[in-house]
Amino acid sequence: MTVKIDGKAIATKVKAEVAVEVEKLMDLGVTPGLAVVLVGEDPASQIYVRNKQRAAEKLGIDSQTINMPADTTEATLLAKIAELNADPAIDAILVQSPVPAQINESRIQEAILPSKDVDGFHAYNIGALFANKHQYYPVANTPRGIMTLLAEYDIDVAGKQALVIGRSILVGRPMMAMLNNANATVTLAHRFTQNLDDLLATADIVVVAVGIPNFVQPDNLKKGAVVIDVGINRMDDGSLVGDVAEDVHEQTSYITPVPGGVGPMTIATLMQTTVELAKSHMKIENEG
């Protein structure tokens, strides 16, 4: 029987642990600070930013949302990031994706100080992850949240065949690195992959992040596979579906539902990383 991985419950547990750490920091006179920059008025982005702000406020994190118009120039956004980099009250900086076309998103990610890069997208932090030194640096929150889910359900990835479908810097590539660091044998598939059906048929763990509804079907999967569905797609009738078909349950041993699986973990892990960055900044100040 397939076990549904309860992302909401694990996220609640993570946030409770974060709240304890925030309280400890506040006893020392430190309030973790998160700055979220939103450029433009994309409705989905506004919802994501609002959810992050609410989560931060509930945990006692000082969260600032900086709204900038859609016609903001790259130079103006870079100047704002430089200001936040220099602000000692800000421990973590996030620029909500996507940004308008006139802005080079990669350049923006590289402008954030690695020590304040709460998303883990700076090349310095990505390099640390691939070098397996990520214990000391921030990493991408969605893959980190997935690793937490696997650990909470005692799913050992060591020695397993893991397949990651989708190679974005948000999920796929850091997910590959984290699974590899945990001693899985990892294959990263993308739109040029020729033998995807063969890879799915032999994978013990499958992480799907392609943004295509029902992309993975039950007859693709190995019996007993652990399936992590990162996709969240809104259909014409308003319903939300993942990248994995709902009727895969007879083939899987564990699966994350959509919604309620991976999604809640992303925000919980973002809060966790923010507090960790605040701790690291406090340590640097004390050592200085």
How far, in Å, CA of 108 to CA of 227, rounded?
33
Which amino acid is residue 157, in one-letter code?
V
How far, in Å, CA of 5 to CA of 148, rounded?
11
Concerning whether 204 is annotated as a catalytic residue, the answer is no
Q: How far is CA 9 from CA 5, 39, 65, 140, 258, in A?
A: 9, 32, 27, 21, 14
Strands 240-241 and 233-234, sheet pairing: antiparallel
How far, in Å, CA of 131 to CA of 170, rounded?
18
Active-site position among 6, 91, 119, 229:
119
How far, in Å, CA of 130 to CA of 148, rounded?
18
How far, in Å, CA of 142 to CA of 90, rounded?
22
Q: Is there a binding annotation on residue 168?
A: yes
Q: Is there a binding annotation on residue 280?
A: no
Q: 172-181 and 141-152 helices cross at what angle (nearest 10)?
A: 40
Concerning whether 96 is annotated as a catalytic residue, the answer is yes
Concerning whether 52 is annotated as a catalytic residue, the answer is yes
Active-site position among 6, 96, 117, 204:
96
Instruction: Using CA atoms of 101, 104, 109, 110 in order, give the dihedral in degrees to the nearest 10.
Output: -170
Q: Is there a binding annotation on residue 166?
A: yes
How far, in Å, CA of 62 to CA of 60, rounded?
6
How many Å is the maximal CA-CA distance in the chain?
Answer: 59
Q: Is there a binding annotation on residue 5?
A: no
3-state secondary structure of 186: strand
Binding annotation for NADP(+): 166-168, 232
Binding annotation: 166-168, 232
Query: Which of the residues are catalytic?
Result: 52, 96, 119
